[in-house]
Amino acid sequence: MADTVATLPGTLTHSAPQPPEPPPGQPYGRRSPLQDRADELARAGRPGPYGVELREVPFLTQFNLRVRERGPRSAYGLLPAAPLDFPLPLALPGTPNTVLRSGDRAAVWLGPDEWLIVTPPGTAAETDDTLRAAADTARGADGGGEGGGGSGSGSDGGVDIAYTDVSAHSTTLRLGGARARDVLRKVCPIDLHPRVFGSGACAQTLLAGGARVLLVADREPDGFLVFVRASFADYVTDWLLDSMTEYAAGDGHFRNEER
């Protein structure tokens, strides 16, 4: 029922409208950057063996994790190019521009000592606790700073750790279908051939000439996740929708020879 605004006798009254019911699983007061465009995205796609589809994957939990090794192992304190033996249930990839997954969780390589930890919506507290426990374990008896959005540090020969919840920084678009790679080629400058950018690959790049995004090849063939800053979400969506136009209409049966 609407809330009635109290007024003096003899004056008009009006009712303040209640906010709309949020989508299932979404708390009141929280809106994804592309929530109002869900129907538009659904209409723009074309299912089928030669189609392409675009949708938002909102509210993924995202933590930026920095882990720097101490001691003489590296002159710059950087970690080796191998999965890091770090007390997490999810391995951290050491090979540049790769992703390691465990169930519905993923660790995305961002730099020699930096990763993005991606977990399902609503798991921020759980992920924070996991990272805090890992930082405490790595820190050991040396003490140091607190975890939980802060940092933990180890003794000489150990590791320095810092992590931050960046879930509100960006939203995620999923581009899928047989034509997804062709759509991305129009707006992305990197080599997207399946031999170069297949499942388990990631890259930080520019999209549509100006938006800095994190591009991750999904588990499914010809599927991509685009992590884009919330303020650029509409801009990137407009470009992708425009690039999809020729594949969302007609029979779309023509395929490039290299595919």
Q: Which residue's entry shows tokens 């969506």? A: 237
Nearest to 62 by CA among 115, 14, 99, 9: 115
- What span, in angstroms and rounded, lies between the C-alpha atoms of 81 and 140? 24
pLDDT tens digits for range 91-121: 889 899 999 999 999 999 999 999 999 999 9
- What span, in angstroms and rounded, lies between the C-alpha atoms of 163 and 69? 15
Q: How far is CA 82 from CA 69, 90, 137, 179, 232, in A?
A: 13, 14, 20, 33, 34
**Percent of the chain's residues with pLDDT above 70:** 70
**Dihedral angle sign, alpha carbons of residues 98, 101, 167, 147:** negative
DSSP string, 200-219: TBEEEEEETTTEEEEEEE-S
Architecture of domain 61-140+157-165: 2-Layer Sandwich (3.30)
**Dihedral angle sign, alpha carbons of residues 190, 187, 232, 90:** negative
pLDDT tens digits for range 136-161: 877 663 544 444 445 444 444 567 88
Q: Which is higher by pLDDT, 83 or 126?
A: 126
Architecture of domain 35-59+169-247: 2-Layer Sandwich (3.30)
Hey, where are the domains in the chain? 35-59+169-247, 61-140+157-165
Q: Please tell me the least confidently modeled range out of 64-68, 80-84, 169-173.
A: 80-84
